Structure 1
Amino acid sequence: MSQMLALVIVVFILLVGDLVAVRTKAWIPSMFVSAVLFLIGYWTFFPKEIVALAGVPSAVAVMMMYLLITNMGTLLSIQELKNQWKTIVIALSGILGIVAVLLSVGTLIFGFQTMVVAVPPLVGGVVSALIMSEGAKEAGLATLSVFAIVIYVMQGFAGYPLTSLVLKKEGKKLLKQYREGSLAANEVAATVEAAAPPVELKLFKNLPEKYNTEFFKFFRLSLVAYLAYLTSTLLAPVVSVSPFVLALLFGVIATSVGFLEKQALQKANGFGIAILVLMLFIFDGLKQATPGMLVEIIVPLISAIVLGITGMYIFSFVVGKILKVSKEMAFAVSLTALYGFPADYIITNEVINSLTEDEKEREALTSHMLPPMLVGGFVTVTIVSVVLAGIFVGFL
């Protein structure tokens, strides 16, 4: 298969996902449709390295991930991160629910080791899945080594549609309040300001606009991302901190001091290709899930996901009730553990765009729904899952 044919095929799959999402008004998320099509492709005629063949090797995907995550930091002010403390508590409660149910009910049914391997990939991303897979392999648990990878690549099949469903309910409720005026205008304005404050490039205020070129925007984004990576490397002997977590934080700081503008990647005309690359990298993980592997572990796989989501819902519902956050928003924030960034960003925007075409209404919905979804995704997938994997791998 030629490179250009591979590129046409994988981009066409993403296009089909988009069209289905638009047609169904996001009831069927594009991520879900694309994941199904990639899985079918890998089981039939796709070469296993079709994504790399199309021009997206892992090195390119990691580069885009750094730029995207740093760019996401420009959407959040330091004040917004403080304001999102409820989101952090709810996200942690959802993870606690998964751990509690899987290590109690799940252990009784499938055994301790199976559930120990299941927890970190279920609440995290590829790093935690790889940690548990390698740990199981070293312990001589070949089936569980595969189980760790498959539960990671399959968890989104439950997370995508569920998130779309609860966000639609939340969005409709907020939209009704906004249109009736019961969602106070000053409350919306305050949230919009916190989520996306007007930013001036204070450090370059005397720079003529003609010199603020696309390459200058890319350079500043790259520099901030590199500083995050360098800081993570320097801290490594003392404490392990994900460079992606620092990239988000550094993006917030760089925007606050006027080094980066808000949505710098969009203004550099690089956001679309970056999302394309990262989505292809995510779906590349599905090449690991062969039919034989799924048949062998289908029962514990489905059971772990169902039990985990049940525990997540119960704990997030209770904590959300205490913190006076709607059960829909609390559950959506917890569900980010099943996929993280960029799916949290994509699904939230799909839902918002399906609910209204009015820009002011979309802005109001975005200000309420997107910041907690982004923060929830980074807390669960980027931070907590890796910590859990580091602890749980010692139990094998």
Structure 2
Amino acid sequence: MSQLMAFVIVIGILFIGDVVATRTKAWVPSMFICASLFLLGYWTFFPTDIVEVAGIPSSVATLLMYLLITNMGTLLSLRELKQQWKTVVIALSGILGIIVILFTVGVLLFDFQTMVVAIPPLVGGVVSALLMSDAAAEAGLVSLSVFAIVIYVMQGFAGYPLTSFVLKKEGKKLLQQVRKGELKIKDSVEETAATTEEVELKLFKWLPEKYNTDFFKFFRLGIVAFFAYLVSTVLTPVVSISPFVLCLLFGVIATSFGFLEKQSLQKANGFGFAIMALMLFIFDGLKQATPSMMLEIIYPLIATIVIGVIGMYIFSMIVGKILKVSKEMAFAVSLTALYGFPADYIITNEVIKSLTDDEEERNILTSHMLPPMLVGGFITVTIVSVILAGLFVQFL
């Protein structure tokens, strides 16, 4: 297969996902459609390296992940991060719900080792899945080694539509409040806009605007991302902190101090390409799930995801009620554990765009829903899942 043919095919799938999401007003998320089509493709005529042939090797995807997450940090402020403590508590409660119900109900249906292998990939990303897969293989548990990868690959099929459903309910409630005059434009939105005008690029006031080129924007994003990577590397002997977590934090700090402008990647005309490449990299993981593999583990796979999501819902709903956060928003934040970034960003924006065409209303919905979804995704997928995997490998 030629490079251009591979590129046309994979981008065509992304386009189909967008069309379906638009036509169904995000009731069927594009991520779900794309994942289904990629899976079907791998089971029929796709070469296993179609994404790489199309021009997106893992090294490119990793680079863009650094830039995208740093750019996500520019959407938040230090004050907003402090306000997200409820999000952190809810995200952790959702993970606790998964652990509790799988170690109680789950072990009654399956064995203890299956649940040990299942939990970290279920609440995390590729790193935790690989850790558990390698540990199971070393322990001679070949089927569980495969199970760890497949549960990571397939969990999004449950997470994508559920997240879209609960976010639409949350968004509709907010819009009703706005249109009845019960909910005004958040002061934080106006304050943030005013602050942005004062702070944005204050370190480069001396620089004529004509020199703030696309390359200069990429250059500054790269510096912040590299600094996050460097700090993570230095801290590794003392404490293991994902460089991606630091990218988010340093993106926030760099924007607050005027080193980065908000939405730097969008202003550098690179955001669309970066999202495209990262989505393709994620769907590339579906090549692991062969039909025979799926048939072998289909029952524990479905049961584990269903039971885990039920536990997640119960715990997040209870904690959300205590913290006075709607059950829809609390559940949506917890569901980020099933996919993380960039799916949390993409699904949230799809839902917001489907609910209203008014730019002011979209800004209100974005300020309410996007920050907790982003923070929730990083807490669950990037941080907690890796910690859990490091602990759980000792039980195999």
TM-score of the superposition, structure 1-length normalised? 0.98
Post-superposition offset of 1:365:
0.5
AA aligned to 1:300 is P
Question: What pairs with 1:1-396 in structure 2 (closer than 5 Å)?
Answer: 1-185=1-185, 188-191=186-189, 193=191, 198=196, 199-396=199-396
Structure 2 CA distance for partners of 1:339 and 1:210, relative to 1, 3 Å = same
Secondary structure of 1:207's aligned partner: coil
1:294-341 alpha-carbon deviations (Å, 9 max, x no partner): 100001000000010000000000000000000000000000000000
Q: Secondary structure at the match of 2:28?
A: coil
- Equivalents in 2 of 1:322, 1:40: separation in Å? 43
Question: Offset at 1:205?
Answer: 1.0
Query: Which amino acid counterpart does residue 352 of structure 1 have in structure 2?
Result: I
- Alpha carbons of 1:196 and 1:269: their partners in 2 closer, same or farther (altered >3 Å)? farther
Deviation sequence 1:95-115 (CA, Å, 0-9, x none): 000000011110111010000
- Work out the CA distance in 2 between the residues paired with 1:217 and 1:355: 32
**Uncovered stretches (5+) of structure 2, i.e. residues with no partner:** none
Q: CA deviation at 1:119?
A: 0.2
Aligned-pair CA distance for 1:364: 0.6
Q: Amino acid of the residue matched to residue 395 of structure 2?
A: F
Letter matched to residue 257 of structure 1: F
Change (3 A) 1:192 1:119: farther
Residue 184 of structure 1 and its aligned partner are, at CA, apart by 3.2
Do 1:348 and 1:370's aligned partners in 2 also have CA atoms closer than 8 Å? yes
- CA drift of 1:206 comes to 1.3
Whole-angstrom distance in 2 between the partners of 1:104 and 1:293: 26
Distance, in Å, in 1 between the alignment partners of 2:107 and 2:190 is 44
TM (norm. structure 2) is 0.98
- Alpha-carbon RMSD across the aligned residues, in angstroms, is 1.0
Q: Deviations over 1:236-260 (max 9, x none)?
A: 1111110101111110111111100
Check the 8 A contact 1:77/1:195 in 2, yes or no. no
Q: Report the AA paired with residue 294 of structure 1.
A: M
Q: 1:192 to 1:367 in 2, by over 3 A?
A: farther
Contact 1:14–1:30 under 8 Å retained in 2: yes
Quote the Cα distance in structure 1 between the aligned partners of 2:195 and 2:267: 16
Does the CA-based 8 Å contact 1:317-1:327 persist in structure 2? yes
- The amino acid of 1:345's aligned partner reads Y
Q: 1:149 to 1:194 in 2, by over 3 A?
A: farther
The one-letter code of the counterpart of 1:266 is Q
Structure 1: how far apart are the matches of 2:193 and 2:147? 38
What is the CA distance between 1:45 and its match in structure 2? 0.1
Q: Distance in 1 between matches of 2:394 and 2:285?
A: 25
Q: Deviations over 1:151-201 (max 9, x none)?
A: 00000000000000000000000001001110134xx13256459951421
Partner Cα distance (1:73, 1:190) in 2:
16
How far apart, CA to CA, are the structure 1 residues paired with 2:219 and 2:357? 34
Contact 1:220 1:259 in 2 (8 A): yes
